[in-house]
Amino acid sequence: MKRVIAVILVGIVLAGAVSGCSEAAGGEAVSVEPVSMIVGTGPVGLADRYAGMVVAGETAQVKRDQDKTVLEINVEEGDLVKAGDLLFSYDTEAMQLDLDKTYLEREQLENTIASAQQAIQELTSERDKAKEGDKLRYTLQIDAKNVEIREANYNISLKDRDIATKEAALENAEIYAPIAGRVMSVDEDGTGGSNGYYDPSGSGVGTGVDFITITDVTRLRIQGNISEMNAYALTEGMPMVVRSRLDDTVTWNGTLSMIDWENPVQNDNNDGMVYVGSSDDGMTTASKYPFYIELEDTEGLILGQHVYIEPDSGEEEEEKPEGPMLPEYYIQYEEDGTAYVWAADGSKLAKRTVGLGVYDEMMGAYEITEGLDLSDYIAFPEEGLEEGRPVERYEEQAAGDTGSEPRVVG
């Protein structure tokens, strides 16, 4: 039912677009769009097939504290490590000296408090013996000592926090691998983060700058990109189908594990992905975000392989129609029952007789068995259409490179 409602909404939107175009051209031009765009889209006109690539598993960024001195690095770029292996250690001698200094400063503050308290006792005793006119002077001195005690107590609380931090740092002077994998980079020059890796799972260790990058190369997963314009189309946890680009019948099943909203794709050509709305098609580029598919089985996949990604609608086990499934509101009928659509014949509008196959009630669409190709352009059948009217191709550039494939986004 939801898909039927979505189809109706698409029809209303397209009818409005056609009407607006006709008015702009004095009621003459008719807006047409490619069949590939119509049948290759999901709800409300956004594509449900995404370009993807086989990538390695989790990547972890191990950070280093720039305020500490690294004593020894135990791994090199290219090394294989297990979770818990020692990566590097800090200079504990310098850290211990710094901690001892902080202890000494705290002890000095305690001595300041003890001296002030002793002074208050003496001043109080002297004030009790003093003449009435001299008592105010002693009171002011006592108040000053009380302020000194409060200030010292506050500084002690700061020193206590500083000591706790330094003791914890001393106890964690050795940094271990958070995941198993290959060491992809070691930033020994201290520039931090220059290698371009990021940790989509947020499993980086410590705070500071990126120091060592580890990637799990034993496990493959699929990365795709989703535009902010159709972000609602995917949700974490939904089943997905990964399809080979070379053989459409070869598939892998998986689950969408994460959409990484924190790390937008920096460039439209990233990893060789194919996008609608890139600078190549003249449309405005929307922000895109990577998402990841965890696979049930990775047999037959290789790192860097390009694939297609689709939501798993459960139709894989069913026999699919051979022809495109065209929404029924595009189909018109002659008095004798012959089905036709309004199609672009060159630069003019014409009736195109089509053959109808199976009908999908959920989609509200007929299989087109003959008379119409994916590359053809058709119009929404509004009232007043006549053969011979000029046509205006709707989103011709965006659909021009689709060929026999659904529009690919992401």
- The answer as to whether 253 is a domain residue is no
pTM of the model as a whole: 0.43
Residue 283 clears pLDDT 60, i.e. is over it: no
Residue 200 clears pLDDT 50, i.e. is over it: no
Q: Are residues 141 and 197 in the same domain?
A: no
- The answer as to whether 114 is a domain residue is yes
- How far does Cα 246 stand from its chain's mean position? 27
Position 229 scores a pLDDT of: 66
Q: Could you give the CA distance from residue 7 to residue 300 in angstroms, rounded to a whole number?
A: 37
Residue 22 clears pLDDT 50, i.e. is over it: no
Average pLDDT, the chain: 78
> Helix 135-171 crosses helix 92-129 at what angle (to 10 degrees)?
160
- The answer as to whether 107 is a domain residue is yes
Mean pLDDT of 291-297: 91
**Mean pLDDT lowest among 127-136, 229-238, 242-251:** 229-238
Strand order in the sheet with 355-360: 325-327, 365-370, 355-360
- The answer as to whether 159 is a domain residue is yes
Sorted by sequence, the CB contacts under 8 Å of residue 277 that are 6+ apart come out as 227, 229, 283, 284, 285, 286, 398, 409
Position 74 scores a pLDDT of: 93
Position 172 scores a pLDDT of: 83
Beta-bridge mates of residue 258: 292
- The answer as to whether 146 is a domain residue is yes
Mean pLDDT of 4-16: 48
Mean pLDDT of 196-221: 62
Counted domains in the chain: 2
Q: Are residues 100 and 201 in the same domain?
A: no
Q: Are residues 190 and 136 in the same domain?
A: no
Position 208 scores a pLDDT of: 57
How many beta carbons lie within 10 A of that of residue 196, not counting itself? 9
Domain with 97 in it: 92-171
**Mean pLDDT lowest among 24-28, 211-215, 295-299:** 24-28
- Percent of the chain, pLDDT > 70? 74
Q: Could you give the CA distance from residue 139 to residue 120 in angstroms, rounded to a whole number?
A: 10
Position 319 scores a pLDDT of: 57
Q: Are residues 128 and 107 in the same domain?
A: yes
What pLDDT band is residue 196 in, cutting at 50, 70 and 90? very low
Q: Are residues 69 and 101 in the same domain?
A: no
Mean pLDDT of 218-225: 88
Position 183 scores a pLDDT of: 92
Mean pLDDT of 140-158: 95
Tell which wins on pLDDT, 190 or 103. 103
Residue 235 clears pLDDT 70, i.e. is over it: yes
Residue 279 clears pLDDT 60, i.e. is over it: no
Q: Are residues 68 and 100 in the same domain?
A: no
- The answer as to whether 192 is a domain residue is yes
With b for 16 or more beta-carbon neighbours within 10 A and e for fewer, the 242-280 pattern comes to: bbbeeeeeebbebebbbbbeeeebeeeeebebbbbbbee
pLDDT digit string, tens, across residues 37-90:
787 543 333 346 788 999 888 888 898 888 888 889 999 999 999 999 999 998
What pLDDT band is residue 252 in, cutting at 50, 70 and 90? very high
Tell which wins on pLDDT, 111 or 265. 111
Q: Are residues 125 and 150 in the same domain?
A: yes
| Domain end point (choices 140, 171, 202) | 171
Q: Are residues 187 and 153 in the same domain?
A: no
Residue 392 · residue 21 · CB < 8 Å: yes
Q: Are residues 72 and 184 in the same domain?
A: yes
Position 314 scores a pLDDT of: 65
Q: Are residues 111 and 167 in the same domain?
A: yes
C-alpha triplet 161, 164, 167: angle, nearest 5°: 150
| Domain end point (choices 144, 171, 198) | 171
Q: Are residues 137 and 163 in the same domain?
A: yes
**Mean pLDDT lowest among 42-56, 264-278, 299-313:** 264-278
Q: Are residues 97 and 211 in the same domain?
A: no
Q: Could you give the CA distance from residue 254 to residue 195 in angstroms, rounded to a whole number?
A: 30
- The answer as to whether 392 is a domain residue is no
Sorted by sequence, the CB contacts under 8 Å of residue 150 that are 6+ apart come out as none
What pLDDT band is residue 267 in, cutting at 50, 70 and 90? low
What pLDDT band is residue 353 in, cutting at 50, 70 and 90? very high
pLDDT digit string, tens, across residues 93-130:
888 999 999 999 999 999 999 999 999 999 999 999 98
- The answer as to whether 55 is a domain residue is no
